[in-house]
Every structure is written in C-alpha cells, then in structure tokens.
C-alpha cells in the first residue's frame, strides 16, 4: 500500500523566515515518483516539482529547495526567505503503480 504522511497540519511564520515542510512516504514499489503541489487560496493545485526514486540529488529552484532521502523515506521542502505570497496549502504526493496518492497537506501562513 502507498501512504504519504505530512505530520505538520499548520505552520505559521513571519515573513523572511525559512520554513521546512516535512513529507514521509511508504511504498513497496521500487520505482516511484514524488511530487509537491501548492494550493493557493484560489483552490487550484499547482505542480511544483517531481523527483524519481533513483535520484537523491537535492534540487534548488530560486527560494525553493527539496531534500530527498531514500534511507528515511522523506522528501522535505524548504522555502528560504519566505514571502506572504507563499501562503498556501502544500501537498506532497507519491505515484507508484499508477495511482497518485496525496498527503493531508500542510497549511502554511506567512505573516507580514
């Protein structure tokens, strides 16, 4: 069975702070992909990044960075120098054998 756990239900920080969103997954598949999506107040889910199970290289894109550690089954997401526009619900997702499974989401609030 596939499962994604985002233990942090809500996070609130002050603008310009760094914040890390945790994601832990379970799967028996040897080949799988992990994803992060952002859901702003408008409601539409926006794809941010994907990472395959064979590539543990960390990735940085502007203020966003992702840390994939297969040994701990984690795929954490860090926002550096957070901004108010980063406020949203962030979802981690896993795709193994075809079904795309989501975590419960972390509601991130960036206060000015």
Partner 1 sequence: GAGVSQSPSNKVTEKGKDVELRCDPISGHTALYWYRQSLGQGLEFLIYFQGNSAPDKSGLPSDRFSAERTGGSVSTLTIQRTQQEDSAVYLCASSLTASRVNTEAFFGQGTRLTVV
- For binding to partner 1 (CB under 8 A), which residues are involved? 6, 29, 31-33, 35, 37, 42-45, 47, 50, 52, 91, 95-105
Residue closer to partner 1 (CB basis): 32 or 64: 32
Q: Give me the least distance between CB of 50 and partner 1, in Å please.
A: 6
Query: Integer distance in angstroms from the first to the last C-alpha of the chain?
Result: 41
DSSP reduced 3-state for 41:
coil
Residue pointed to by tokens 């079904």: 99
The CA distance from 20 to 80, in Å, is 9
Q: Give me the least distance between CB of 47 and partner 1, in Å please.
A: 5
Q: Give me the least distance between CB of 65 and partner 1, in Å please.
A: 19
Residue closer to partner 1 (CB basis): 81 or 97: 97
Quickly list H helices, 1-112: none
């Amino acid at each position: 069975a596939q499962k994604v756990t985002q233990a942090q239900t809500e996070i609130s920080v002050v603008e310009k702070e760094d914040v890390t969103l945790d994601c832990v997954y379970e799967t028996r598949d040897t080949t799988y992909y992990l994803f992060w999506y952002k859901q702003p107040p408008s409601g539409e889910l926006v794809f941010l990044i994907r990472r395959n199970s064979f590539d543990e290289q960390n990735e940085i894109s502007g203020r966003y960075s992702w840390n994939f550690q297969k040994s701990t089954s984690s795929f954490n997401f860090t926002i550096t120098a957070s901004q108010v526009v980063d406020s949203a619900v962030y979802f981690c997702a896993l795709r193994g054998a075809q079904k795309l499974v989501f975590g419960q989401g972390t509601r991130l609030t960036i206060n000015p």
